[in-house]
Chains A and B, each alone.
Chain A
Amino acid sequence: MSSAQLLRSEAVYYVDLAVTGITFGCMYAMMAVGLALVYGLLRILHIAHAAVFALGAYVTVLVANATGSVALGFVAAILVTPLFGMTIYRLLYEPLLKYRPDVPMIASVGLLVLMQDAFRIGFGEQGVTFHRDVYDLMTVDLLGVTVNAVQIAIVIAAAVIFLGLHLFTTRTRIGVAWRATVSRPKIAASFGVDPIQVRYLNFALGSALAAIAGGLVALLNNLVDPSIGYVVSYKALAIIVLGGLGSVRGTLIASLVLGLVEAYGTIFIGQWLDRDAIAFLALIALLMVRPQGFTGVRTA
């Protein structure tokens, strides 16, 4: 290969890695934002969010296979998961709010263990895949970098979601009321905002977003198995902490940072640390430098 070709192939390689990182990041962002919403409002580490995400993924595939339409799969998932999420709040968290946050967290863990086994028993150990005629992988070639259609969909979806959330919380009445309840609950209440409704909205919204993330991951992997939520259960926690105090914007930044760190890190230091270790090393290092996270406010 000539040196020009060599240079080009190297450049393509680094761009390839960047695309991978950004896709991971957008995926993580959508998985984690639901968790950030719950944490911001209730200070609970909603580990069972992983089960909501998994449910969204399963529903997307099963409905898509049954109806032949991936779009319908997504619609079904977005309708089902908010119900699940709000039920978790009502039955699990609301009665436990007055205890130390470890308590609802462990309840959350119990629910996740139960749901993962329920998925195994209900949908099979091997998991579910899209039927061939329902969905097929499509790729696009951009200057030598091959990107698959789902990766593009993930980035677009993330952009739309985060822009949407931003507009929602700054331009709409409900959104502003929600934001006020998160940061100044008492003042918001005194303005007539019903904190209970805000909570339900919170869980509904976060769960619906998890469903979208789940459906997209299902498309990306073409496999939904009972363990699909596991990585979400701890990575998403890391992301919202790195983002800073349940901030939505912080979640996006932290997700992208983590995605890129993983994409490059697994290649360069993959001999000494595995992927999760690399992610957490970055997290800890960044937290040591900035203990309040990217967008958090220094309290100590």
Chain B
Amino acid sequence: MLHRKWKTSTRPMNLLMGVAAVALSLAMAQPARAEIKIGFQAPLTGFAATDGKSAEIAAEMAIENINNAGGVIGEKLRLIAYDDQAKSDQAIFTANKLIGEDGVKLVVNGSYSASGRAAAPIFQNAGVTTIVAYGVHPDITLAGDHIFRLVHLGPPQGRATALFVAKDLKLKNVSTITMDNDYGQATMDGFLEASPKYGIKVINKYSYSLKDRQFGSIVASVKRDNPDGIYATGYFFTAGPLVAQLRAAGIKAPIIGSQAFDSQKFIEIAGPAAEGTYIVDSLDRDRNDAALQKFFAEFTKRAGYPPESVASVVYSAVKLMADGIKRAGSADPTKVKDALAETKNFPMLEGTLIGFNSLHEIIMPISVNVIEDGKFKFFAKLGDLDAFAPPEK
């Protein structure tokens, strides 16, 4: 019955099917014009959501800016972003998802060290070229040559700080306050290791947990130490209260903070107490650089708050990846890896990236900011690259 109906209308039916087939293949041909997928991991939820949000917005901005300028090697970029909550197991899931389900070959990791450490070996084994934007743990680049890191490692940051404290601030007796997590400890380790070399005496070492906002015991102890200077590692949400409480206790010694102090929120929380705080490896906002100023304005408009180191380095990471693709002339991860390894004097928002060393760590000077009149002001540029050179292979 059905059969007969079909047979009687064969001719028009065939024609229709033929047209449909052509139309379908034309339609299918469209997406076959490839985009280059860039995988992206960031802590969008969970305790690190503050940095995750900055990272996400920065990455999206970078992709849009690149695509609006015509894309890379004639193709547009597409960001495939996953939330890893800055946790190792989530980083493993999302890394596998990017490689397997999404077929990604190039990744930017915009998350914390716990994520970078877990994901890096997976990306390396799959031959996926990865730029880790701000995870500072030494193990990350040890995973292999497909992994690049765009921020100074913890220990070199600490060593640079020791150099700065001794040579620029000329302080001798210092009390140290470490935030107890891999970032805080790694950075402080560098400082403690380099201190004796520059004649800095560490009077006492204190530490606190990520969750702490009340530092009464540490403040009392530092007051008793009466140091020439205080060096503390931490994120803005611990740094703000810490600095406020130190000053409220009448401690006048200069405070030197680590990279993650760098956030407008730090100034908001600590208020007048933030004046005079030095931040090492901070984003130099005073640079007369059109790209930086444009980024600043656009990010502030999108996010509702001004960008900090995290946003800047993630933006630069995506830009660098695009640049690597351009120089390689292809999106093949091995070719991109080789192009990235040869990077010379690449303009990042933070300044000029001189290049990568054999372990694919950055060679770049470190900027120091000071808080003046409630704003970040450039204070010094540490150019003694050997003093804080990252490890080689």
**A residues touching B (Cβ–Cβ < 8 Å)?**
9-10, 12-13, 16-17, 19-21, 23-24, 27, 117, 120, 124-127, 129, 132, 136-137, 139, 141, 146, 148, 217, 220-223, 225-228, 230-231, 262-264, 266-267, 270, 274-276
Do B217 and A17 have beta carbons less than 8 Å apart? yes
CB atoms of B269 and A125 under 8 A apart: no
Contact pattern, B 198-211, Cβ under 8 Å of A = 1, otherwise 0 = 00000000111101
Note all chain A residues with C-beta closer than 8 A to B271. Answer: 132, 136-137, 222
Q: Is the interface of B mostly helix, strand, loop or mixed?
A: helix
User: Once the chains bind, are A120 and B216 in contact (CB under 8 Å)?
Assistant: no
Q: Do A231 and B211 contact each other (CB < 8 Å), given the known contacts A16-B220, A17-B220?
A: yes
Shortest 3 CB-CB contacts between residues of A and residues of B: A20-B216, A16-B220, A125-B50
Is B244 among interface residues, defined by CB-CB distance under 8 A?
Answer: yes
A95 to B317, CA, bound (A): 52
Chain B residue nearest to A10 (CB atoms) is B224
Using Cβ atoms and an 8 Å threshold, which residues of chain B touch A275? 208-209, 212
* Chain A residues, CB < 8 A from B245: 148
Q: Are B216 and A146 in contact (CB under 8 A)?
A: no
- Check A24 against B206 for contact (C-beta < 8 Å): no
Q: Which of B218, B219, B224, B241 has a CB less than 8 Å from the CB of A223?
A: B241
- Nearest chain B CB to A283 CB, angstrom units: 17
Nearest opposing residue in chain A for B51, CB measure: A125
Q: Is the interface of A mostly helix, strand, loop or mixed?
A: helix
CB < 8 Å neighbour of B241 from A117, A222, A263: A222
Q: How many residues of B contact A (CB 8 A)?
A: 42
By a beta-carbon cutoff of 8 Å, the part of chain B in contact with chain A is 45, 47, 49-50, 52-53, 180, 206-209, 211-214, 216-221, 223-224, 236-237, 240-241, 244-245, 248-250, 263, 265, 268-273, 304-305
Give the shortest distance, in Å, between B55 (CB) and chain A (any CB). Answer: 11
CB B49 to nearest CB in A, in angstroms, measures 4
Closest Cβ neighbor of A16 among chain B residues? B220
A258 shortest CB reach to chain B, Å: 13
Between A and B, 23 residue pairs with Cβ closer than 8 Å are A12-B224, A13-B223, A16-B224, A17-B216, A20-B214, A117-B45, A120-B45, A124-B304, A126-B50, A126-B236, A126-B265, A129-B265, A129-B269, A137-B273, A148-B245, A221-B213, A222-B269, A223-B269, A230-B211, A274-B180, A274-B209, A275-B208, A275-B212
